[in-house]
Structure 1
Amino acid sequence: MLNPEETEAQFEQRWWELMNLMRERFGKKPDMNALLLLIGVQELGQGAGPFTKEQKQDLMHIATCKIFSYSGYYELDRVDEEGWPHYRLVRPVPFANLKEQERMLKWHVLEYFDAQEDEE
C-alpha cells in the first residue's frame, strides 16, 4: 500500500531518480504509457517485439494489472499457451481524481522497479 510515512518530497525524489535512470538507459525520459509498455514487455518476457498496436495495448494492460497486484487489486490468473499472462480483478480499484490516479500509478511503478531491483 501507499507509504503514509513517506513525505511528498521523498516520493517525488524517488520518482525523479527513476526517471533519470530511464533517461540514462533509453536516451529520453519516458511518459507513463512508455513505462507501462516497458513493464508489459518485461512481464511477457518474449523480448522487445515487434508488437501490433493491439498487442501494445494488451501489454499496457498486463503492466497495469501487474503493478496493481502489489496492492491486492489484481492477481495472476493464468498464462495462456502463447505465454501471455492473464490477471483477474480481486477487488475494485478505488475511484480517484486525475491527480490521485497519477500518484497511485507512479507509486505502483516505483514499487515494480524496486521489486525488480530486489530480484537482481
Structure 2
Amino acid sequence: MSGAVGAKPLIGLGCLGLIAAASLGFFLLKGGSDEEAPVVQATPSATFAPTAPPAVEQLGESYRMIIDKIGLDAPVVRYGLDENRIPIVPTGADAAQVVAWYDFSVKPGGGGNAVFAGH
C-alpha cells in the first residue's frame, strides 16, 4: 500500500513539470518579445497570358485505344487546354467515338505518363 501512496506526489510533480515545459516552449516559440514582426509586401510576379486553344488535331490512324473487354476501338485525338488552363473535352456528335489525348502529357507510345479522356 505504501507504494501506491508514494506514487501520487510523483504524478503531481510530473504534471507540474509538463506544465512548466509547455509554458517554456510557448514562450520560446513566441519569441519572448511583444514587438510585432515587420510586414512583408509581396512583389508582383509574371501574369499568365492566355493563348487561343489549340485546334483539335488527329494524331493519325496508328494511334487508337483498344480495350477488347469493353468493346472500345477508337481513334486518339489531340486536345489541349483552354484559356483558363482547363482541359478541353471532346463534344458534339463524335464525342463518344474518340479518345482525347492531352498534349501537355507524353505522346502516346512515348514511354511516360500520358493523359487521356473519353466517354
- TM-score (norm: length of structure 2): 0.24
Higher relative contact order by CA 8 Å / sep ≥ 6: 1 or 2? 1
- Where is the strand percentage greater, Structure 1 or Structure 2? 2
**TM (normalized to structure 1)?**
0.24
Name the structure where helix makes up a greater proportion of residues: 1
